[in-house]
Structure 1
Amino acid sequence: MTTFDYKQAFARNLGWITPQEQEVLRHKRVAIAGMGGVGGSHLLTLTRLGIGRFHIADFDRFELANFNRQAGASMRHIGRPKVDVLAEMALDINPELEIRRFPQGVTGDNLSEFFTGVDLYVDGLDFFAFEAREMVFAHCAEQGIAAITAAPLGMGAAVLNFLPGGMSFEEYFQLEGRPEQEKILRFLLGLSPRMLQKGYLVDPSFVDLANHRGPSTPMACEICAGLAATEALKILLNRGPVRSAPWGLQFDAYRNKLVTTWRPGGNRNPLQRLALTIARRQFMSVKNADTPGSSTPQTPVERILDTARWAPSGDNTQPWRFEIAGDGHVVVHGHDTRDWCVYDLEGHASQLALGALLESIAIAASHEGLRAEFRRRTDSPDTTPVIYVHFHADEAVTPDPLYPYLPLRSVNRRPYRTRPLTPREKQALEASVGDRYRVLWLESPRDRLRAALLMFHNAKLRLTMPEAYEVHKRVIEWNADYSEDKIPDRAVGLDPLTLRLMRWAMASWRRVAFLNRWLAGTWLPRIELDLLPGLFCAAHFALVADTEPQGIDDYLVAGRALQRFWLTATALGLQLQPEMTPVIFSGYVHRGIPFTDTKSVRRGAKKLARRFCGIYGEPARIVFAGRIGAGAPPRARSVRRPLPALRA
């Protein structure tokens, strides 16, 4: 049996620290409150650094929800106190540790005892534990104990040091006497003034600040432990540069960015005050699927619908409502938007969306081991179709591999990379649509230029048509990264200056007309939204039916093929943007259906239809068109109404 030897166990630290410094660390005492997400990682990392004495506190026990991030969370530890599990793990690393446990957590009654003889405090408290955190940091400031707080944020971490004689925790964050929601924002913005993590939050519905719930990653917790341990080493050994508040540091592995922040005055700083004002508007107004008034899906049918509701729909209209008629029976009540939306030619866009919903239901049902069968009530009008859905247990059903991508699929209106699609990618995409459709690719630089110019000319119709203005005014949500039932303005694809000009103009058609006539108002958005994205992509494409769709049932089938194509693109890491308005305007022209009272738009639509046919062929058999390519996911996107709001 191997005998433990401190010097041998931690010899690989030497070189970065001296033998004398290792001995100093051996006799240092560190207090850590909280053994959850980051606290346990702090303890184990500092133990491996060779620190020999700890005070640890936590009143909680391990549960299944801890598994994604917490050191010590495992099946054999479920239900056990976190302080006991982590103490045992630390003692397995260094059996000579002097470790004192506070299983009731840190309280006003044991605060002095918890900090007796402590050289450094490392914060491991839950993000929302403001009462305990304020108490602990106030005690550190009063007793002259150095303190570190490191927060896991996204796939990175932010760290702040509070040193004796320097700016205190309260002076920096300004939390005292504030409402809890204000404390949440002040703590978050104070830790992370640059908010590097915000840009890649793919589903904001999992952020529920009011109920103390938010997404987390194991990478962030481990990065936290590394950053905090490095600061601890420098503080305890009195070596190296140690920057304390108002200086801070944030590293984000996902963004490949490291930033140093400096906020004199902390949250009183003018930059912070501005950021807090913006954050209050953005974060506190975000509606999400798990806010009070909604409910977490409990039954298999509810889980299926909760996932399927992420199906695409034109302008995020979500033209469906669900009636749960029994454990294995759902009635989908559809409706189209042709009465107010010029882009819903004969209801086809809404019918495609319903088809995408049905495919999403089938995919989600497979994840529950169920087979979904669909039957449209034939006497229901095309404008308000009714579709019966029956679920059957089937041992032959296997989970569809596209299931994880249902909520991840989104529209990306930004330019992509121009690298060509690989043969493997094209083969997967072509196979996804089935035998009734083929994919028409426009990949060469010349073809992409032709398609981009088509979109550029098409955009002039969209931006100069009063009927389209009414739609745009109705479907855009301003000052938003996410929207449950509209398109957030920051997902449109415009730069901030042009977006502000657009918002001003959209207040009235008179302003739009003035901008278009006197200030060349369509040029900037047409270049930014259509021409440049049309050039910067891997390809434009069209899904072409073998035979011309004859009615709603054909469009429902087409919608199912479209959804599998889009989900396959998402699974391949590709971005996609629909390019349906040229198809729609050409369809109006070819069918002889009036859609605008503006003569110049009617003339322009006829020219557009000729250009379209020259590139894609007759529009009658084209059920969907778009552009595709590799690129970063969008930072803003439409989300969905919560399931209770979609119940009939």
Structure 2
Amino acid sequence: MSEQAGFFAELSDEELMRYSRQILVQQIDVAGQLRLKNSRVLIVGVGGLGSPVALYLAAAGVGELHLADFDSVDLSNLQRQVVHDSLTVGQPKVDSAAARLKAINPLIKLQLLRSALDQDSLASAVAAVDLVLDCSDNFTTREAVNAACVAARIPLVSGAAIRLEGQLSVFDPRSDASPCYHCLYGHGSEAELTCSEAGVVGPLVGLVGSLQALEALKLLAGFGEPMIGRLLLIDALGSRFRELRVKRDPACRVCAVACQQVPDEPLGNE
């Protein structure tokens, strides 16, 4: 009880009221809410997946969100990228999203990364946070984000959606048992189709993004069973979900090498 009282002292009356329904969840409670408040998260891509991710993490009280996207809002985005609206067409996506997130929750802090991230800036962006959510739409970016997370030993929540199919998994370099993105998709190519080429249904990216946000809250607040070593496949056409177990590739050129170079550390919330 004394520990809980200490946590209450670090949450304002406004925060206790704002997050009251979330705090009532036994697995989160005040301690979990305080962990969320003290967390920093990088969202790579503020489009179809990044929209629900950013909205739900901001509303949940994640203390600091770093938004990375070099693109501007286009009319064709509005069918699925729900953090933007008609009045922000032409604006940088990070600015459009920031205005909406601040309107939802003025208590959070935002860091806006408007330029394309190269290897050095991506490494710095990943090292500055506790968790990364990959909401990009191309294989090259996903591979780069994965490599940066492995190098920095930062957990990564990865989602993807195209046409009527979605995927979700969590990769945690702090765990010896966790595969990385390259273990699963190292056979991919830069010729992979994007939503602008193949199309996508709006509610599907909303579903995948919402699940990414849920996985992020579990990792940050320290509850539940994150999808480490599991891959969720979503068939929106038939409304079916399938889960596959996935293992680390001992010959992976990304995480196998990193695992040999970095000493083991106990798992835990930072």
TM-score normalized by the length of structure 1: 0.34
Maintained 8 Å contact 1:35/1:58:
yes
RMSD: 2.3
SS of the equivalent of 1:104 reads coil
Does residue 202 of structure 2 align to residue 218 of structure 1? yes
Maintained 8 Å contact 1:6/1:94:
no
Aligned to 2:38: 27
Q: In the alignment, residue 260 of structure 1 is paired with which amino acid? A: E
Aligned to 1:14: 23
Cα deviation, residue 52, structure 1: 1.3
The one-character-per-residue Cα deviations of 1:548-583 (angstroms, maximum 9, x if unpaired) are xxxxxxxxxxxxxxxxxxxxxxxxxxxxxxxxxxxx
Cα distance in 1 for residues equivalent to 2:34 and 2:140: 36
Does residue 168 of structure 2 align to residue 168 of structure 1? no
1:401-440 alignment, distance < 5 Å: none
Does residue 17 of structure 2 align to residue 5 of structure 1? no
Q: In the alignment, residue 13 of structure 1 is paired with which amino acid? A: Q
SS of the equivalent of 2:66 reads strand
Maintained 8 Å contact 1:147/1:162:
yes
Cα deviation, residue 9, structure 1: 1.7
Aligned to 1:342: none
Cα distance in 1 for residues equivalent to 2:107 and 2:185: 38
Does residue 217 of structure 2 align to residue 233 of structure 1? yes
Aligned to 2:54: 43
SS of the equivalent of 1:73 reads coil
Cα deviation, residue 265, structure 1: 6.0
Q: In the alignment, residue 249 of structure 1 is paired with which amino acid? A: L
Which of 45, 56, 67 pairs up with 2:78? Answer: 67
Cα deviation, residue 48, structure 1: 1.4
Residue 230 to residue 54, structure 1, CA distance change in 2 (3 Å): same
Cα distance in 2 for residues equivalent to 1:154 and 1:45: 23
Q: In the alignment, residue 87 of structure 1 is paired with which amino acid? A: A
Q: In the alignment, residue 145 of structure 2 is paired with which amino acid? A: V
1:316-331 alignment, distance < 5 Å: none
The structure with more radius of gyration: 1
Q: In the alignment, residue 21 of structure 2 is paired with which amino acid? A: R
Cα distance in 2 for residues equivalent to 1:254 and 1:63: 27
Cα distance in 1 for residues equivalent to 2:80 and 2:123: 30
1:380-459 alignment, distance < 5 Å: none
Maintained 8 Å contact 1:124/1:149:
yes
Alignment: residue pair count: 233
Maintained 8 Å contact 2:160/2:167:
yes
Cα deviation, residue 154, structure 1: 4.2
Does residue 51 of structure 2 align to residue 58 of structure 1? no
Aligned to 1:113: 124
The one-character-per-residue Cα deviations of 1:276-311 (angstroms, maximum 9, x if unpaired) are xxxxxxxxxxxxxxxxxxxxxxxxxxxxxxxxxxxx
The one-character-per-residue Cα deviations of 1:192-244 (angstroms, maximum 9, x if unpaired) are xxxxxxxxxxxxxxxxx399611112211211122112211221123222232
1:240-259 alignment, distance < 5 Å: 240-245=224-229, 247-259=230-242
Maintained 8 Å contact 1:119/1:146:
yes
Q: In the alignment, residue 158 of structure 2 is paired with which amino acid? A: T
Cα distance in 2 for residues equivalent to 1:40 and 1:211: 15
Percent sequence identity over aligned pairs: 27
Q: In the alignment, residue 203 of structure 2 is paired with which amino acid? A: M
Aligned to 1:146: 155
Q: In the alignment, residue 180 of structure 1 is paired with which amino acid? A: E
Does residue 245 of structure 2 align to residue 262 of structure 1? yes
Cα deviation, residue 264, structure 1: 4.1
The one-character-per-residue Cα deviations of 1:501-542 (angstroms, maximum 9, x if unpaired) are xxxxxxxxxxxxxxxxxxxxxxxxxxxxxxxxxxxxxxxxxx
Aligned to 2:190: 180
Q: In the alignment, residue 79 of structure 1 is paired with which amino acid? A: G
Cα distance in 2 for residues equivalent to 1:260 and 1:179: 24
Residue 257 to residue 210, structure 1, CA distance change in 2 (3 Å): closer
Cα distance in 2 for residues equivalent to 1:40 and 1:174: 27
Does residue 77 of structure 2 align to residue 93 of structure 1? no
Maintained 8 Å contact 1:53/1:97:
yes
SS of the equivalent of 1:90 reads helix
Cα distance in 2 for residues equivalent to 1:85 and 1:227: 23
Cα deviation, residue 5, structure 1: 2.4
Q: In the alignment, residue 27 of structure 1 is paired with which amino acid? A: N
Q: In the alignment, residue 61 of structure 1 is paired with which amino acid? A: S
Cα distance in 2 for residues equivalent to 1:215 and 1:20: 42
Cα deviation, residue 94, structure 1: 1.4
Cα deviation, residue 11, structure 1: 1.5
Q: In the alignment, residue 20 of structure 1 is paired with which amino acid? A: A
Maintained 8 Å contact 2:162/2:199:
no
Residue 212 to residue 85, structure 1, CA distance change in 2 (3 Å): closer
Does residue 60 of structure 2 align to residue 77 of structure 1? no
Maintained 8 Å contact 2:36/2:62:
yes
Aligned to 1:319: none
Residue 257 to residue 22, structure 1, CA distance change in 2 (3 Å): same
Cα deviation, residue 56, structure 1: 0.9
Cα distance in 1 for residues equivalent to 2:30 and 2:45: 31
Moved over 6 A (4+): none
Aligned to 1:136: 145
1:453-602 alignment, distance < 5 Å: none
- Runs of 5+ consecutive residues of structure 2 not aligned to the other structure: 1-12, 252-270
Maintained 8 Å contact 1:33/1:106:
no
Aligned to 1:188: none
Maintained 8 Å contact 2:33/2:221:
no
